[in-house]
A and B are shown apart, each in its own frame.
Chain A
Amino acid sequence: MSVLELQGLSVTYRTEGGDVPAVRGVDLEIGAGDTVGLAGESGCGKSTIAAAVLRLLPTSARVEGRVLLGGEDVYAMKPGRLRAVRWTGAAIVFQGALHSLNPVHRIGAQIEEAIRVHGLGDAATARRRAADLLERVGIPASRADRYPHQLSGGQRQRVLIAIALACGPHLLIADEPTTALDVMVQAQVLDLLAELQRDEGLAMLFITHDLSVLTSACRRLAVMYAGRIVETGPAEDVVRLPSHPYTAALAGAFPTIGDPASRMRPSGLPGDPPDPAALPSGCPFHPRCNRAVEACSTTDVGLRVSAPGRAAACVHVEPA
């Protein structure tokens, strides 16, 4: 049974200026121990998906489709069941550079809180487990009584990982866990996540805009554009031989490590991601696409399976 399954997930934010579709019909499946990367520019809906999994979206958001955590529909759960599933069924590694840690509570207490809330031990057990978790993510347990502002950005990110691991979740959702960290620290945090994933056999959904990160950390990859998955397949294949022009542009925006030539000619992507409230007609990517043909402005093709385990939403893809 899959740990997480999204079936035709759509999320629409109702605002005063009208409805804004942030996610438009996403299907995704993550099996036990599987690692899936979700890539895309900011505003493509990837963080909305992370929040939707644990039903953390604001009340102004309308959710359609189904989110199954361990086979159970998250949106059909009673409040008590939902609270129990949060952090045990899936836990989120939030962005440490932002204000995800409460500034007035000690970091140890913020880890212990998750353990206590789920009744996984008394105060002493929780304290011991919090100390273990801090050591596990590479922070001396003696720092448990520090406050978030006394830690560096990298350490805060590690604390957030420790918090996410507190209840032994089946799925770890890493929502841009390395954004706004400097490069050395990014690499350390990525190594830590990969190591944890391997050792604990965690299933992981890795959300980022940085494709190069995903290739090493994930087995499969899904690329999102304007609220939809436009390409999916084995991570290495997707990055090496992209089928969708958007994936190609995204892959070209980052230099390939070990290939000095690619550093000399990073290819950017012109224009901005479309406003979800006013999507272009046809394929939403066509105004920025260098391979767009006339049909692209009128017809929006769905995902086409090009090879076993690979699919892309582009007219240039020949269905297998």
Chain B
Amino acid sequence: MRPRVVVGKVVGAISTLAFVVVVNFFLFRIVNDDPVESMFRGRNLTAEQKERLRQQFDLDGSRFEQFVAYVRELLSGNLGVSLQSRRPVATEIAEALWPTIALVGTATTLSMAIGIWIGIRAGWRRRSRFDVGSTTFSMFTYSVPDFWLAMLALGLFSVQLGVFPTGGIEDAGSTATGLALLLDQLHHMALPCLVLAVAYIGEYAIVMRSSMLDTVREDYLQLARAKGLRDVEVRRRHAVRNAVLPVVNLSALNFGFVLSGAIAVESIFSWPGLGQATLEAIRGPDFPMLQGLFLLFSAAVILANLVADLLAGVLDPRVGGR
């Protein structure tokens, strides 16, 4: 890809993010003009006390002044103060970030690898027993809601069989450190991770399969076969190399939803990640927290889009020109 094209895409991503900052700010001002009023509804606060609270949450001044202050603070990494915990939003988010990346990131990677593997084999031998079996499985897991799968898994493995903990990230009151702590956390992560992975596999398998089905008809596979290549070589070097392009794109885009994608499953397993934080912020409602979370989720999607675009340029010589 030409450097000029790359720079153009980066600039595009940054402008999109700037647009999101603006919309994000005004969206919450439209939803609720005066959070202080609604937070302390029914309580007797003096006008003075309310004014102090508004100052504390940067709600004084005109709308425009508020926005300028917000952007200034944003650029220095300050996302405001949570209405619920009274702690900085940035700190709250940072704490919830890693559990989510560990859980959803692992599940996404796992399902991607398995799903693509399934899709390659199913598409290469259409209507084979493997194809029929795996496609039925993929369709099923693709259409089943992940929270339903989560509740089933919880009921079976944690409640009935008792092989996995019912929730949380570590045993309550645990004092373990180091390796013991890590193992305990992995034990807690296993079941939600498995549920998410199963829920995601179908999409990758189905998309990879259909991309393979388009590719197996291509003339260059006939040439590869005529040259004397083995079936596996034709598949790997010629078919998969082409068929995987749209799936790589999809995968890169899906990584953008890692942070925001598991709200339901996280809350079922009481996983202290961004999903649960989002749910609690909505219950509040905790506007500064929501605003910070939305901004982060948008940034992740924009970044993933940028990565997908750049990756396409690397993998497909036809993209980006010469």
Q: Tell me the smallest distance from the CB of A95 to a CB of chain B, in Å.
A: 8
With contact pairs A103-B242, A147-B317, A149-B318 given, residues A87 and B227 touching in the complex (Cβ less than 8 Å) = yes
Proximity string of chain B (234-256) to chain A, C-beta cutoff 8 Å, 1 when within and 0 when not:
00011001100100000000000
Is B148 on the interface with A (CB-CB < 8 A)? no
Q: Would you list which residues of chain A between 162 and 209 have a CB under 8 Å from chain B?
A: 163, 166-167
With a cutoff of 8 Å between Cβ atoms, the chain B residues found around residue A86 in the complex are: 225-228
Q: State how many residues of chain A have any CB contact under 8 Å with chain B.
A: 32
With a cutoff of 8 Å between Cβ atoms, the chain B residues found around residue A15 in the complex are: none
Q: Tell me the smallest distance from the CB of B234 to a CB of chain A, in Å.
A: 10
Docked CA distance A92–B225 (Å): 11
Docked CA distance A316–B322 (Å): 61
Since A83-B230, A102-B224 are in contact, a sample of 12 more A-B pairs with Cβ atoms closer than 8 Å, ordered by chain A residue number, is A56-B222, A83-B228, A85-B228, A87-B226, A87-B228, A94-B219, A95-B219, A100-B219, A103-B316, A114-B227, A118-B228, A167-B228
Contact A99 B218 (CB under 8 A): yes
Docked CA distance A287–B233 (Å): 48
Is A131 on the interface with B (CB-CB < 8 A)? no
Docked CA distance A114–B230 (Å): 12
Q: Is the interface of B mostly helix, strand, loop or mixed?
A: helix
Contact A114 B228 (CB under 8 A): yes
With a cutoff of 8 Å between Cβ atoms, the chain B residues found around residue A160 in the complex are: 223
Q: Would you list which residues of chain B between 179 and 234 have a CB under 8 Å from chain A?
A: 218-220, 222-230, 233
Proximity string of chain B (73-111) to chain A, C-beta cutoff 8 Å, 1 when within and 0 when not:
000000000000000000000000000000000000000
Is B23 on the interface with A (CB-CB < 8 A)? no
Is B139 on the interface with A (CB-CB < 8 A)? no
A102: which of B220, B226, B315 is its contact (CB, 8 Å)? B220
Docked CA distance A54–B229 (Å): 13
Q: Tell me the smallest distance from the CB of A48 to a CB of chain B, in Å.
A: 13
* Residue from A83, A102, A113, A147 with most neighbouring chain B CB atoms (10 Å): A102
With a cutoff of 8 Å between Cβ atoms, the chain B residues found around residue A83 in the complex are: 228-230
Is A91 on the interface with B (CB-CB < 8 A)? yes
With a cutoff of 8 Å between Cβ atoms, the chain B residues found around residue A257 in the complex are: none
Q: Is the interface of A mostly helix, strand, loop or mixed?
A: loop
Docked CA distance A87–B229 (Å): 10
Contact B227 A117 (CB under 8 A): yes
With a cutoff of 8 Å between Cβ atoms, the chain B residues found around residue A113 in the complex are: 224, 227, 229, 237
Residues of A within 8 A of B (CB): 51, 54, 56, 83-88, 91-92, 94-95, 98-105, 113-114, 117-118, 147, 149-150, 160, 163, 166-167
Contact A102 B238 (CB under 8 A): yes
Proximity string of chain B (300-322) to chain A, C-beta cutoff 8 Å, 1 when within and 0 when not:
00000000000000011110001
Docked CA distance A95–B318 (Å): 20
A104: which of B222, B224, B229, B241 is its contact (CB, 8 Å)? B241
With a cutoff of 8 Å between Cβ atoms, the chain B residues found around residue A103 in the complex are: 220, 242, 316-318
With a cutoff of 8 Å between Cβ atoms, the chain B residues found around residue A91 in the complex are: 226
Q: Tell me the smallest distance from the CB of B1 to a CB of chain A, in Å.
A: 13
With a cutoff of 8 Å between Cβ atoms, the chain B residues found around residue A100 in the complex are: 219-220, 222-223
Residues of B within 8 A of A (CB): 218-220, 222-230, 233, 237-238, 241-242, 245, 315-318, 322
With a cutoff of 8 Å between Cβ atoms, the chain A residues found around residue B241 in the complex are: 102, 104-105
The 4 closest A-B pairs by CB, nearest first: A86-B228, A147-B317, A102-B220, A83-B228
Contact A150 B228 (CB under 8 A): no
Docked CA distance A100–B217 (Å): 11
B226: which of A56, A104, A147 is its contact (CB, 8 Å)? A56
B220: which of A101, A117, A147 is its contact (CB, 8 Å)? A101
With contact pairs A94-B219, A94-B222 given, residues A104 and B315 touching in the complex (Cβ less than 8 Å) = yes
What residue of chain A has the Cβ atom nearest to residue B229's Cβ?
Answer: A117
Contact B318 A147 (CB under 8 A): yes
Contact B228 A56 (CB under 8 A): no
Docked CA distance A105–B242 (Å): 10
Q: Tell me the smallest distance from the CB of B237 to a CB of chain A, in Å.
A: 8
What residue of chain A has the Cβ atom nearest to residue B220's Cβ?
Answer: A102
Q: Tell me the smallest distance from the CB of A311 to a CB of chain B, in Å.
A: 31
With a cutoff of 8 Å between Cβ atoms, the chain A residues found around residue B315 in the complex are: 104
Contact A104 B317 (CB under 8 A): yes
Q: Tell me the smallest distance from the CB of A79 to a CB of chain B, in Å.
A: 8
With a cutoff of 8 Å between Cβ atoms, the chain A residues found around residue B317 in the complex are: 103-104, 147, 149
Q: Tell me the smallest distance from the CB of B315 to a CB of chain A, in Å.
A: 7
Contact B225 A56 (CB under 8 A): yes
Can you give 20 A-B contacts (C-beta < 8 A)? A51-B222, A56-B222, A84-B228, A86-B225, A86-B228, A87-B226, A88-B228, A94-B222, A94-B223, A95-B219, A99-B218, A100-B222, A103-B242, A104-B315, A113-B224, A113-B229, A114-B227, A114-B228, A147-B318, A149-B317
Contact A99 B318 (CB under 8 A): no
Docked CA distance A100–B317 (Å): 16
Contact A163 B227 (CB under 8 A): yes
Q: Tell me the smallest distance from the CB of B129 to a CB of chain A, in Å.
A: 16
Contact B225 A104 (CB under 8 A): no
With a cutoff of 8 Å between Cβ atoms, the chain A residues found around residue B230 in the complex are: 83
With a cutoff of 8 Å between Cβ atoms, the chain A residues found around residue B224 in the complex are: 102, 113
* Residue from B245, B316, B317 with most neighbouring chain A CB atoms (10 Å): B317
With a cutoff of 8 Å between Cβ atoms, the chain B residues found around residue A167 in the complex are: 228
